[in-house]
A and B are shown apart, each in its own frame.
Chain A
Amino acid sequence: MSLALYPGCVIRTVHPEVEKAVKETLSRLGVSFQEKTEASCCAPSWFFSLSREAWLRLNERNMRIFKSTVVTACDDCFASLSDAFRVLASRNGVKPPEVKPFQALLLERLREVKPRLGFTGLRCAVQHSCRFLRPSGRGLDNPEDPKIVKSVLEMLGFLPVSYERELDCCGGFLSDENIGREMARVKAGSAEKAGADCIVATCSHCMLRLSPVSNIPVLHLAQLSAFSLGLDPVQAGFPEALLRRMVKR
């Protein structure tokens, strides 16, 4: 049964190489999927809190388009879609389609397929996205000690590095620019201080917020998984600085 793929509008426009990496990773792991280009924006709560009705109706249309299980590459879309589907399901009593974040699907497939992957030794600081961890009612990962992304990285042959500000917020959806930038700067600095080569995020807004202020490259988990499954690093969007470090390792 093929999954519906919904990479999210930020990835489709600002980070197309992440979309490429997601598709490559899924196909290399034998996951059949259909991209649903017809689906509209997931109306995330941070700007669609202006009108709850619009958020529900837009996602009602998306629900009709997806029909079966959906995999999303951005945790913000994951949260908005699954919350909307739950409210809609309870309103009209229909079973909501399951919404799976990319990292959860990746963990499952890696555990099943168990591919033999080389150890790259790349030290990665994980940027845990708040939408994926909280509210803890989602029951996907332990908000105080998240492990899913870290175990995926280990399976892919990378070295997850923990750092002091690991559970802090990246400042993602803030409208006041300088507060957001300050929070991102503190976080990126802490990751760099812990000796990480790159920051791995699973939500497009974390990437938008961290990339401009971080001295070390900010990548999506899919880019790393595509690379370790054999995709050419340039196509996966690896910056040269990172390539030089990996050669050094």
Chain B
Amino acid sequence: MRRVTVVLCTCCSTLLEKIDFDRLRSVFSSSPLVRRVLITDSLCEKNACENLGLKDDGRIVVAACSSRLLEAAFGKPSLVEFVNIREQCAWACGSREEATLKAIRLVKGGVQKALRVSQPPGVEGLKITREALVIGGGIAGVRCALDIADAGYRVYIVEKEPSIGGVMAQLDKTFPTLDCSICVEGPLLSEAGRNKNITIIPNAEVVEVKGRVGDFKVRVRVNPTYVDPDKCNGCGECVNVCPVYQPNKYDADLKPVKAIYCPFAQAVPLKYVINMDHCVECGLCMKACTRAAINLGDEPKNVELNVGAIVVAVGSDLFDPRLKPEYHYGEYENVITNMEFERIICASGPTGGVLLRRDGKPAKRVAFIQCVGSRESGPGIEECSYYCCAASMKEARLILEHDREARVFIFYNELRAFGKGWEDLLYRRCLEEGVVFIRSRPSEIRRIGNGSLQIVYEDTLTGRRGELEVDMVVLALGFKPSWRMVELARRLGVTVDKHGFIQEAHAKMKPLETRVRGVFVAGTCHGPRDIVESAVEGSGAAALVTSLFRRSSLRLPEAAEVSAEKCTGCGRCLSSCEYRAIVREGDKVRVLESVCNGCGACLATCPQEAITLGNWGLEQLAPQVSAMLED
């Protein structure tokens, strides 16, 4: 016959005059259900549990103050039932008699509940696979992987492009100090390539994620590159013989490369890949390859990874300027995006760093248009995209560095130079070098005669309308996550916000965690950021991962469980779960432990009562209620 130990706390004897503890002791020590009754005066002391000898008592009812203080003291093993006889009883009742009667009633209820408490809440001692997966090889992902590897844990970087580096590798210079972007990121990339704890998986994407924090099973599909990375030593013989040219996404489709190519000189891994959409399979490269590394019949491979934590650092796409027809991007050739501008002004770019128009003539008068796709209620996003004002000012200074006589105009709406060094190194310097800032959002770009462009705008500071003739217009694009991000979020089980950025668990308290425990986020994939902020978040996520790995074992809070026999797969519980932690599996349903928040909303919706959650089922609560109502 199960019995319960009742522990009463007088809260340093302050409750003695409010509650008749002797009467309590006599009522409960005579009850057959109670093993023994202990009265103590300070349960919240450091090791109250030990010196009361409660270690092996199993079921205990603790009648004392609000359980948050005691929970910490008792370490919350599940077989303890807390009853509040201080704030809700002693202090809330008028007379000692009333308080005593109420205390008896509450403890009776506690006893009934304690008798029926079963297995401990949550699962103790879960094993943790101390390996991490970083999705995305941009500055955030690489920074995060390096920090985790330095802490001594294995890291996989899954990157969808042939090389890691992300957007930062495409930039010419970075703001505010105008130091060369690839010179800053290159060493990081090669270090990541050399680090024995880091495994880079290029040309790959995450297809499926299962399991819980500490034990994720991730299926990764590696797209065929038709060149065996182990054999290829990057000699480049194949490129010389390849007859086919194709646009190179790295160079924003401006500088063609052969069908077999390496994205950029500092690529890591420095291996060649074949783009099968353009390859005519003539086989010349195979003959030229001294190490027989090329196999045109390559097939996509699936790689299974078992990791303990996942960091999403996939970055974000930029706004498609075609959604703003009035700027005629794609129709007028000298209207380009800021990414294309970075490639043109870059020494390794299509024009070797000389700012030329598409027709080869030098661009002497250049205009920047800000907030294209940001801060608007139209097709873009409603937020400010954080980086473009600084980027445009940096690019303006680059133009003037290359060509002193050039004239640069920046059409801004609210110029934002809030970062470290932005005001003096960018804005002041631009003003001194003669960049013209016009507060206006041009309504249209017109093409006149010889291919140069005319910007129709109203200078809102003077209220005068103007038409400015320029050689080239650069559109400062905001961020706009594409459908790929929403698809990845769905596979990971995390949610996205209204723009498509990944939703963090709490904007202020948990900025780098997501709804799913063990899945962290860093970089522009969860909001507009610049390079510095992305790197900071990369290190932040790495810190969270390493602190997770340092724990000896893992305790998950109570998660609901579905008993397979009772579940008929009706799916009523699916809609009741606000955290979307229940998923269909075959004709049954399954609860994702790492997502479930233990709120219990699904319990009541299940017609078969197939779902249980720790000790909050009907058979535990009903007797407690009826005990409290007996007279």
Interface range, A side = under 10
Residues of B within 8 A of A (CB): 325-326, 328, 331, 446, 448
Looking at the assembled complex, report how far the CB atom of A141 sits from the nearest CB atom of chain B, in whole angstroms: 12
Is A176 at the interface (CB under 8 A from chain B)? no
Is A53 at the interface (CB under 8 A from chain B)? no
Is A144 at the interface (CB under 8 A from chain B)? yes
Proximity bits, A123-161, B CB within 8 Å = 1, else 0 = 000000000000000000011110000000000000000
Looking at the assembled complex, report how far the CB atom of A197 sits from the nearest CB atom of chain B, in whole angstroms: 24
Complex Cα spacing A164 to B467, Å: 15
Complex Cα spacing A12 to B159, Å: 67
Residues of A close to B326: CB separation below 8 A: 144
Looking at the assembled complex, report how far the CB atom of A166 sits from the nearest CB atom of chain B, in whole angstroms: 11
Residues of B close to A144: CB separation below 8 A: 325-326, 328
Residues of B close to A143: CB separation below 8 A: 325
Residues of A close to B331: CB separation below 8 A: 145
Looking at the assembled complex, report how far the CB atom of B233 sits from the nearest CB atom of chain A, in whole angstroms: 51
Cross-chain pair count, CB within 8 angstroms: 9
Residues of B close to A164: CB separation below 8 A: 446, 448
Complex Cα spacing A198 to B448, Å: 23
Looking at the assembled complex, report how far the CB atom of B335 sits from the nearest CB atom of chain A, in whole angstroms: 13
Complex Cα spacing A164 to B446, Å: 9
| CB closest chain-B residue, reference A145 | B325
Looking at the assembled complex, report how far the CB atom of B452 sits from the nearest CB atom of chain A, in whole angstroms: 14
| CB closest chain-A residue, reference B449 | A164
| CB closest chain-B residue, reference A144 | B325
9 interchain pairs, CB-CB under 8 A:
A142-B325, A143-B325, A144-B325, A144-B326, A144-B328, A145-B325, A145-B331, A164-B446, A164-B448
Looking at the assembled complex, report how far the CB atom of B326 sits from the nearest CB atom of chain A, in whole angstroms: 6
Complex Cα spacing A142 to B326, Å: 11
Looking at the assembled complex, report how far the CB atom of A158 sits from the nearest CB atom of chain B, in whole angstroms: 24
Complex Cα spacing A144 to B325, Å: 6
Question: Which of A143, A144, A145, A164 gathers the greatest number of chain B CB atoms within 10 Å?
Answer: A144
Complex Cα spacing A143 to B448, Å: 20
Looking at the assembled complex, report how far the CB atom of B85 sits from the nearest CB atom of chain A, in whole angstroms: 61
| CB closest chain-B residue, reference A165 | B446
Complex Cα spacing A142 to B325, Å: 9
Complex Cα spacing A202 to B177, Å: 57
Complex Cα spacing A143 to B325, Å: 9
Complex Cα spacing A142 to B323, Å: 12
Complex Cα spacing A145 to B331, Å: 11
| CB closest chain-B residue, reference A136 | B325
Complex Cα spacing A58 to B446, Å: 41
Complex Cα spacing A68 to B485, Å: 46
Complex Cα spacing A79 to B616, Å: 62
Complex Cα spacing A142 to B322, Å: 12
Known contacts A142-B325, A145-B331; 7 additional CB pairs below 8 A are A143-B325, A144-B325, A144-B326, A144-B328, A145-B325, A164-B446, A164-B448
Looking at the assembled complex, report how far the CB atom of B66 sits from the nearest CB atom of chain A, in whole angstroms: 54
Residues of B close to A145: CB separation below 8 A: 325, 331
Complex Cα spacing A238 to B326, Å: 36
